[in-house]
Amino acid sequence: MIGVLALQGNFTKHIELLKRLGISSTEVRYPDQFNDIDGLVLPGGESSVISDLIVRNDLLEPIVEFSRVKPILATCAGIILMSKKTNDPRVIPLNIFDIEINRNAYGRQIHSFFDTIQVDLNGTTSSIVASFIRAPKIAKLGNDIEVLATHNGTPVAIRNDRHIGLTFHPELNNETIFHSFLFQMKKKVDTLSAN
Amino acid sequence: MSKKGSFDLKVGLAEMLKGGVIMDVMNVDQAKIAEDAGAVAVMALERIPALIREEGGIARASDPQMIREIQDSVSIPVMAKVRIGHFAEAQILEAMEVDFIDESEVLTPADEHNHIWKHDFKVPFVCGCRNLGEALRRIGEGAAMIRTKGEAGSGNIVEAVRHMRQVKSDIKKLTTMDREEMMAAAKDMGAPFSLVEQVAKIGKLPVPNFAAGGVATPADASLMMQLGSETVFVGSGIFMSDDPGPRAKAIVDAVTYYKDPKKMVEISTDLQTAMKGIEISEIPENERLQERGW
């Protein structure tokens, strides 16, 4: 079962996409739900709002604990939350990705855009359409970060072992490669724990 | 080549606002209270609807200086209202790079026959509706988000409920229709056929559907979410109450935990007095804001 953090944002779109891939998922709002899921999606939305709701509802520790063994796919607001440094006191970093990131770094909504990018994932290169909505920009890459895609020289898709972080929204263009990857990672973790 | 201003990108931002609360604010202090409480966006306007109702006069788009100050003070999206049909006010707001424009019946209409042709703009628009026909006309003109009109500034949820239920029931009817019936429905509703056909197929609006007009308590927010709203606008309900900060926070929590009555007890406890509100029958028909636009 894949959990989708459902505090605020477009979590329903991720659930629809997972359903289309035949992967069952559930909305996550409570700490005890982390025992029942094997993968997590941190969706887009307003990072300051989601961060606040994470802290207010005692979800910070459970997410960090979860990330130590199980895979997370984070898009837009999600990757901001997972970073080490957010450069904004309104967003408490979960410190899962060793990166520094700046919120809303391309400007206001009028500067939101979509573009085709090349993604290198597990030895396969795919060309996908990525929507950047008031998107963040990765300012600094730290340890153990593999860059999967760039846009105009800036990393926009990264991987740290089982976790993936994206500054754009694959779900808005029905791009499924990252959700499929999350499911593969979940299976890999299952196999490891079975052994 | 990267592309900006497309309809999908406009709807994309509306998608990101889901499960959140958009709050009306009149100055920087209120904008900060709203952001601290967890507002997903703020709507900058000079007078909240309840005050417009009290004070009367022509309600226009806000002073650019006031909007700019709010833009500089918060990190969340900033929206602002224009009068129905007033595309010049909208051009000014677009040049200021507001994140969303509300072509709103709360302000005094500038054009009694035509709404703005919203496809001409790169900034997304939200518009109010009372039924599916009105929603589809606005989407046809380019609105990327729809909200119920409700009765702004009334503190009374009854009209928002009526409008949300009406839209839902209109959609339900469409999904059972043959194509021949759909054309007749399009004619009766005064809605573009292509959108009627699309709604019949997907069983929902093609853009996010939010609630507005009369939300005053966390329970009001929960009610609207359970009726199918994807986010809640709170206009006068926060800053006309005795406890704006805690109430704003409580409504934010209510939109996340609306399906959990036990949590709703916790959320609704210890709040002070909500805005007083008005019985709709006490508002003369020609003063009902929902009657503006078509």
pLDDT on residue A195: 63
pLDDT tens digit sequence for A165-185: 999 999 999 999 999 999 999
Question: Which residues 97-116 on chain B approach chain A with CB closer than 8 angstroms?
Answer: 97-100
Which stretches does DSSP call E strand in chain A?
Answer: 2-5, 25-28, 39-42, 72-75, 99-102, 113-121, 124-132, 137-141, 146-151, 154-160, 163-166
Task: Give the three-class secondary structure for B129.
Answer: strand
Residue B285: per-residue pLDDT: 87
Task: Please give the DSSP secondary-structure letter assigned to residue B257.
Answer: S
Asked if A146 is an active-site residue, the reply is no
Is the separation of the CB atoms in A131 and A168 below 8 Å? yes
The Cα angle at residue A137 between residues B123 and B207, in degrees rounded to 5: 35
Under a CB-based contact definition with an 8 Å cutoff, are residues A183 and A21 in contact? yes
Cβ-contact B43, A57 below 8 angstroms: no
Tell me, yes or no, if A151 is annotated catalytic. no
Is residue A100 part of the annotated active site? The answer reads no
Mean pLDDT score across all residues of chain A: 96
Q: What does the alpha-carbon distance between residue B205 and residue B83 come to, in Å, rounded to a whole number?
A: 24
Q: What is the ipTM of this complex?
A: 0.95
Cα–Cα dist B195/A55, whole Å = 42
Most B-contacting residue of A112, A150, A166 (CB-CB within 10 A), to test interface: A112
Instruction: Give dist(CA A35, CA A55) in Å, integer.
Output: 19
Distance CA(B59)–CA(B56), nearest Å, equals 8
Can you spell out the DSSP letters for B59-95? --PPPHHHHHHHHHH-SS-EEEEEETT-HHHHHHHHH
Q: Which residues of chain A have pLDDT under 70?
A: 195
- Look at A53 and B252 and tell me if their CB atoms are within 8 Å: yes
pTM as predicted: 0.96
The fraction of chain A above a pLDDT of 70, given in percent, is: 99
Say how far apart CA B155 and CA A154 lie, in whole Å: 48
Q: What is the dihedral of CA B254, B257, B261, B265, to 10 degrees?
A: -50
Question: pLDDT for A52-63, tens place per residue?
Answer: 999 999 999 999
Instruction: Give dist(CA A31, CA A195) in Å, integer.
Output: 27
What pLDDT is attached to residue B46? 87
Distance in Å, alpha carbon of A189 to nearest chain B alpha carbon = 30
Q: Which helix (H) or strand (E) holds A66?
A: helix A60-69
The full 3-state SS of A142-186, as one line of letters, equals: CCCCEEEEEECCEEEEEEECCEEEECCECHHHCCCHHHHHHHHHH
Residues in chain A within 8 Å Cβ distance of B94: 110
Alpha-carbon gap: B266 to the closest alpha carbon of chain A (Å): 12
B3, B10, B32, B81: the active-site residue: B81
Contacts of B75 in chain A (CB under 8 A): 48, 88, 90, 103-104
Three-state SS for B21? Answer: strand
Instruction: List chain B pLDDT tens, one digit each, 294 residues.
Output: 789 999 999 999 999 999 999 999 999 999 999 999 999 999 999 889 889 888 889 999 999 999 999 999 999 999 999 999 999 999 999 999 999 999 999 999 999 999 999 999 999 999 999 999 999 999 999 999 999 999 999 999 999 999 999 999 999 999 999 999 999 999 999 999 999 999 999 999 999 999 999 999 999 999 999 999 999 999 899 999 999 999 999 999 999 999 999 999 999 999 998 888 889 889 988 889 999 998
| Separation of alpha carbons B95 and B251, rounded Å | 32
